[in-house]
Structure 1
Amino acid sequence: MKRLLLIELLLAISFSLMAEGPVKKYKNPVVNYSLPDPSGIRAEDGYFYLYATEDIRNLPIHRSKDLVDWEFVGTAFTDETRPTLEPKGNIWAPDINKIGDKYVLYYSMSCWGGEWTCGIGVATADKPQGPFQDCGMMFRSNEIGVQNSIDPFYIEDEGRKYMFWGNFRGIYGIELSEDGLTVKSGAEKKKIAGIAYEGTYIHKKHGYYYLFASTGICCEGLESTYQTVVGRSKSLWGPYRDKRGRKMLDNNHEVLIHKNMNFVGTGHNAELMTDDAGDDWILYHGVSVSNPHGRVLLLDKVEWIKDWPVVKENSTSVESEAPQFHSSGWTSDNKR
């Protein structure tokens, strides 16, 4: 009798697995051409939209249903609508958000080496694929008093809106106006991390704020030393600390993703995204050793161990089980 019950149980498990079908796998990179400094959001049409530094001129937009298969759908701007914050500059490190009924795109604009003339601007659109209308400059480095003011990140917290930014000259934050398009009148900036970092992203989970950032050299091909790091705090404004309690203000952190034999320069992550199975995923860029042309788009699963984010082996996977999306159940803590 026991043997018969065991056989029935094994058959039930087998039929269940057959019904679910084979486990879907994916390989890195998920996009094998240059899409640096990604930022993503899921729109009302069910697609994930991803925006990146303009190695494709006028700031490329891609979309995907599953975070793995991406298609190019156009650019945020055209030559005619291109921002003029820095007329000869490039558009770097966008940050996409939904504020009210508008898609709001923050962007950096700079000439290489123009650390006091660069700045952050903002554009809006009714649809995630645009067209985006430039609303102009929010601030410039020499006006706000922060050298190399690029790499914007927007977050809402307790009903208020904030921007964090910075690039190897300290990470700073400031409160924004209700519509998110300007700095709030009278607001003062505050430094939350040291000079080792760029590419800020803050994620709320488990009662903590997690400050993700990147350290090292981003853009030297196979010589790039870029890596993704993280610290955490009980407050949005810090102090952010590593596991030993040392402050990110003093350039201390935990390494989340470092190089391996297949990918180097692994940094500047997008927003964490959660699949239908409840697993978190991180998109970021890196340099492929087998195809070292530009910074390709990479994807990995984030696990939470003792309330700290962990990527398997702290480095980019080659092949892994894909995110699970069976419905419209995608969530993101910071992009609602």
Structure 2
Amino acid sequence: MKRKVNLFVLAFVLSAFFSVTKAQVKPSMNYKNPVVEVGMPDPTVIKAADGYFYVYATESTRNVPIMKSKDLVQWTYCNTAFTNKTRPKFEPRGGIWAPDINYINNKYVLYYAMSVWGGEQTCGIGVATSDSPQGPFTDHGKLFRSNEIGVQNSIDPSFLQYKGKNYLVWGSFRGIYVIELTADGLSVKPKAKKKQIAGTAFEAAYVHKHGDYYYLFASIGSCCEGLKSTYHVGVGRSKKVWGPYKDKNGKSMMENGYLQVIGSNDHFVGNGHGSQIIRDDAGQDWLFYHGISKTAPEKGRILLLDQIKWDKDGWPYVEGGSPSYEFQKAPVIK
């Protein structure tokens, strides 16, 4: 009887030990691309006040799909930003493209492009807001159309705050431009003048500050030709936010110079239109972007994730120069 009691106590102690150890030492999780195997083109990401990350995308799923995650790897669908009744209407037959999510003045602010394919003069950029990252979003209409702002193919918005002021970066293969917005971010500041900061090789531009430099990430090539797509991600940098942005060899992005960051490989092609760079709890930088699987192109532009690293000279890169396809260490999210 005494022996049985001792064995019971020993089992209880060992059980408690392993329970505590498991709680204190969380095994590192791995992930493999794609992180979402349905169409999520042109992703944009934010960490919300509720502790979840939210990703939004061009409407392969009508009315702008929203997914959420605690760890940047495992995503669940939660809503659409709009409904058929609430969706923007300033381009009546247009699709909602390239959303850009931000948190401004205690509101979730979603910039978006609206266009029909080839409608380079009538397309434009609008804005919507919500109290919740899951929506519903209230549309505030267009900021401008191409033919109003004087920039052909005015799509692909990207919000930027600089020295306490709000700016919008935008453009697609007709130059990358920037203009100041009002304090609430919901309209162009009166009398603001646009400024061109990159040439005609680029779209989906996004400014990111790292160290002493501002980096202008952008996409180059064809996005939407299936396995023939040539999309890839490039970058230039400058010590001034409005440039001039230059590549490693000193060629200006106004002259279409850039350093390639993400290209194609035997597994994924058409890789581009990166999100905002997300920093994890270990200080590592991550980029979401879309790509096309060579083995399952019918799934469309699926969601990919890779770590952005920085070389000794401060230039960004991903390992191998193209999407990872074997298991990688996941972002560290506590």
Could you tell me the TM-score, scaled by structure 1's length? Answer: 0.91
Determine the structure 1 residue equivalent to 2:192. 187
Determine the structure 2 residue equivalent to 1:81. 86
Report sequence identity in percent: 58
Map of 1:205-224 to 2, 5 A cutoff? Answer: 205-224=210-229
Are positions 1:93 and 2:101 aligned together?
no
Number of equivalent positions: 311
Please state whether the residue corresponding to 1:142 is helix, strand or coil: helix
Question: Distance between the aligned counterparts of 1:253 and 1:287, measured in 2?
Answer: 23
| CA offsets 1:204-260 (integer angstroms, 9 cap, x no match) | 110211000000000011100000111101111110000111100000000000000
Determine the structure 1 residue equivalent to 2:4. none
The aligned amino acid for 1:20 is V
The aligned amino acid for 2:180 is E
Q: 2:307 aligns with which of 301, 310, 319?
A: 301
Could you tell me the TM-score, scaled by structure 2's length? Answer: 0.91
What's the RMSD between the two structures over aligned residues?
1.3
Are positions 1:325 and 2:333 aligned together?
yes
Determine the structure 2 residue equivalent to 1:119. 124
Please state whether the residue corresponding to 1:313 is helix, strand or coil: helix
| CA offsets 1:86-112 (integer angstroms, 9 cap, x no match) | 011000000000001110000000011
List alignment gaps of at least 5 residues for structure 2.
1-20
Question: Distance between the aligned counterparts of 2:71 and 2:139, measured in 1?
Answer: 30
Determine the structure 2 residue equivalent to 1:237. 242
**Larger Cα-atom Rg:** 2
Question: How far 1:138 moved relative to its partner?
Answer: 0.3
The aligned amino acid for 1:238 is G
Question: How far 1:274 moved relative to its partner?
Answer: 0.8
Question: Distance between the aligned counterparts of 1:57 and 1:19, measured in 2?
Answer: 43
Determine the structure 1 residue equivalent to 2:209. 204
The aligned amino acid for 2:284 is D
Question: Distance between the aligned counterparts of 1:145 and 1:272, measured in 2?
Answer: 30
Question: Distance between the aligned counterparts of 1:18 and 1:52, measured in 2?
Answer: 35
Question: How far 1:18 moved relative to its partner?
Answer: 12
Q: 1:260 aligns with which of 265, 284, 291?
A: 265
Question: Distance between the aligned counterparts of 2:217 and 2:85, measured in 1?
Answer: 35
Please state whether the residue corresponding to 1:222 is helix, strand or coil: helix
Question: Distance between the aligned counterparts of 2:117 and 2:26, measured in 1?
Answer: 50
Question: Distance between the aligned counterparts of 1:129 and 1:19, measured in 2?
Answer: 32
Stretches (4+) displaced over 2 A:
16-23
Are positions 1:38 and 2:46 aligned together?
no
Assess, with a 3 A threshold, how the Cα gap between structure 1 residues 121 and 24 changes in structure 2: closer, same or farther.
same
Question: How far 1:20 moved relative to its partner?
Answer: 3.4
| CA offsets 1:117-171 (integer angstroms, 9 cap, x no match) | 0000000000000110000010000000000000000010011110010000000
Question: Distance between the aligned counterparts of 1:17 and 1:39, measured in 2?
Answer: 34
Are positions 1:290 and 2:298 aligned together?
no
Are positions 1:129 and 2:117 aligned together?
no
Determine the structure 1 residue equivalent to 2:255. 250
Map of 1:158-197 to 2, 5 A cutoff? Answer: 158-197=163-202
Question: Distance between the aligned counterparts of 2:56 and 2:24, measured in 1?
Answer: 36
The aligned amino acid for 2:303 is L
Q: 1:150 aligns with which of 151, 155, 159?
A: 155
Please state whether the residue corresponding to 2:288 is helix, strand or coil: strand
Please state whether the residue corresponding to 1:139 is helix, strand or coil: strand
Question: Distance between the aligned counterparts of 2:328 and 2:146, measured in 1?
Answer: 41
Determine the structure 2 residue equivalent to 1:12. none
Question: Distance between the aligned counterparts of 2:322 and 2:55, measured in 1?
Answer: 22
Determine the structure 1 residue equivalent to 2:320. 313
List alignment gaps of at least 5 residues for structure 1.
1-15, 327-336
Please state whether the residue corresponding to 2:297 is helix, strand or coil: strand
The aligned amino acid for 2:293 is S
